[in-house]
Amino acid sequence: MKVVLVVLAVLVVLLLIALVRALLMKPTSAKDAKVVLDTSERAEKYGQRLSRMIQKETISCRNQEDRSKFYEFHKLLETEFPLIHEKCEKHDFNGSLLFKWPGHNKAEPVLFMSHQDVVEATGQWKHDPFSGHIDETGRVWGRGTVDTKASLMCMLSAVEEMIESGFAPLGDVYIASSCTEEWGGDGAPATVDYLEKQGVKLSLVIDEGGMIIEKPVGGVNGTYAMIGVVEKGYGDVKFTAKGKGGHSSAPTKNTPLVRLGQFMAYVEKNYPFKSEYTPTVAEMFARFAPNMDFGMKFLFGNMWLFKPLMPVVLPAVSSAAAAMLRTTLAFTMAEGSQGANVLPHEAYVVGNMRFIHHQDDKESIRIISDIAKKFDIEAKALYVDAPWPVVDFKGKQFNLVEEVIHEIYPGIGVSPYVMTGGTDAKFYSRICNHCIRFAPLYIDGQQYGSIHTLNENICSGALPMGVDFYKSVIRKTQA
């Protein structure tokens, strides 16, 4: 009894210390920071340019052979950015582009990238998805405004204007734009193959990824630039169940579809992958903590006490938080028989997996395959990419990007985070140790939610800051 009382007393003291620490934690400038959109003629000019880029439909799909639409887009780029086409080397990899702005070999080369292809645009849109409509508030509407023609327009505009001003880089500056990013195709790999054969080793790559957004996580107040430093691996796994088939009027038990259903329900109820509170996630929440609602501040501002609870707590907070901590598996496709009155001889489901670094592709597939066997189901990997190298958020490249963000967007917060989606940057890890996933553009909640769905749009007033970001990074990497 005495031991129990001592333990309780110690626990109360620890909780009181945590409470005092949370009460004394002062908010940072990010809590009240707001991005002020540009209303100058410059914003209007960039908005019009982006509108013309949106009007060129560049939907891509797996194993696309006809890439003529991308060459139509390239013709527009020649008109919009004549100095780049005059002063830079241009390389074409079956529709994917690489520009080289030659330097004087006195600084390490850098590369900016943003894909030109977009996903399909089905459904009922407020404005036609390829109209490039600009409304009275300056919003440019259309597929690709956020993902990712706006950032492509910004980096090309930055280089075009720097060439016009007479700026000469000390090191080579590259701009890459794949036309196959949306399906993980051959564009970026072909570009990297070329650069590798040329002996190019890049000091920095900046690709799409996080952006600038208010309240990036529920309970976190303020405006933050979210910089992706971790990209999970990718896998598609087919789970097949076989049976005797037959007529549906005399159904047997444990048919292929039933076993698949039992398997999927089991996985959802007994999630098999291990959650781990990684250094990147810890750093992200440490930067968020001062601006959190009090309950969350109490927890995340006292990791010295509550860290062991995080792998359990965070998955309960949201699916996005859970995805940052563990391998995920989502069942996305299924097929049984072709007749409503036919029991299938064979049925399957496909699971899309995103592999975390502490439980990589091999281990994660082994775990789920062992579970499938218990339901007499065969697992076969259709496509697999291992997790990609983690960028050091304490390294000079991250610090340089953070410095430029504070310069362009005074007062906002900056945080590393775990990418739950995929980018072309992963292919560049062969020739660069610092592939940062970040598009330097402010978007609101609606715009964030429009990515890959209806009514994608971006504010023209956010574009000048994006151009200035790339200019500043170029200058600082040439010092």
187-211 tens-digit pLDDT = 999 999 999 999 999 999 999 999 9
Spatial CA neighbour of 239 closest among 334, 147, 303: 334
Give the phi and the psi of residue 147 in degrees, each rounded to 5.
Answer: -125, 90
Judge if 267 and 397 occupy the same domain: no
User: What is the average pLDDT across 120-144?
Assistant: 97
**Residue 2 pLDDT grade (very low, low, confident, very high; cuts 50, 70, 90):** confident
Report how many domains make up the chain. Answer: 2
Q: How confident is the model at residue 29 (pLDDT cuts 50, 70, 90)?
A: very high
Long-range own/partner contacts, residues 5-14 (CB < 8 A, 24 or more apart): 14/305
Residue 426 shares a structural domain with residue 359: no
Task: Inform me whether the pLDDT recorded for 213 exceeds 90.
Answer: yes
Domain with 350 in it: 233-385
Q: What is the DSSP string of 296-323?
A: HHHHHT-HHHHGGGHHHHHHHH-HHHHH
The answer on 376 and 402 residing in a single domain is no
273-315 pLDDT, tens digit each:
999 999 999 999 999 999 999 999 999 999 999 999 888 888 8
Both 109 and 206 in one domain: the answer is: yes
- Separation between Cα atoms, residue 81 and residue 53, nearest integer Å: 12
**Same domain, yes or no: 274 and 361:** yes
Beta strand pairing status for 204-214 and 246-247?
unpaired
Are 278 and 371 in the same domain?
yes
156: Cβ contacts below 8 Å, ≥ 6 apart: 77, 80, 81, 84, 175
Residue 1 lies inside a defined structural domain of this protein: no
DSSP state of 390: P
> Does position 418 have pLDDT exceeding 90, yes or no?
yes
Q: 316 falls in which pLDDT band (50, 70, 90)?
A: confident
**Domain co-membership, 154 together with 217:** yes
- Pick the last residue of a domain from 385, 414, 438: 385
Residue 349 lies in a domain: yes
Distance CA 278, CA 352 (A): 23
Does some domain include residue 144?
A: yes
Lookup: tokens for 184: 């993980």
Structural domain contains residue 123: yes
Q: Are residues 298 and 342 in the same domain?
A: yes
CA gap 255, 376 in Å, rounded: 11
Q: Which among 349, 368, 385 is the end of a domain? A: 385
Q: Are 208 and 451 in contact (CB under 8 A)?
A: no
**CATH no. for residue 425?**
3.40.630.10
* Range scoring the smallest mean pLDDT among 294-298, 318-322, 355-359, 370-374: 318-322
Q: Are residues 206 and 272 in the same domain?
A: no
- pLDDT score for 269: 95
Average pLDDT over residues 24-38: 95
Do 370 and 401 sit in the same domain of this protein? no
Residue partners of 388: CB distance under 8 A and separation at least 6: 231, 232, 233, 425, 426, 429, 435
Pick from 154, 288, 120: which is nearest to 219 by CA? 288
DSSP E strand boundaries for 27-130: 89-93, 96-101, 110-113
Residue of 359, 381, 357 lying closest to 369 (CA atoms)? 381
The pLDDT-based confidence of 12 (bands split at 50, 70, 90) is: confident
Q: Which residues fall within 8 angstroms of residue 196, CB to CB, at 6 or more apart?
A: 430, 431
> Residues 379, 244: one domain?
yes
Q: Is residue 10 part of a domain?
A: no
pLDDT at 105 over 90: no
pLDDT band at 15 (very low <50, low <70, confident <90, very high): confident
pLDDT band at 261 (very low <50, low <70, confident <90, very high): very high
- Is 411's pLDDT higher than 80? yes
Note the pLDDT of residue 248: 86
pLDDT of residue 249: 87
Among candidate residues 362, 385, 408, the one where a domain is terminated: 385
Instruction: Mark whether 303 and 241 lie in a shared domain.
Output: yes
Query: Are 137 and 39 spatial neighbours (Cβ–Cβ below 8 Å)?
Result: no
What is residue 270's DSSP assignment?
S
The predicted model scores a pTM of 0.94
Residue 11 included in any domain: no
The C-alpha atoms of residue 368 and residue 294 are separated, in whole angstroms, by 39
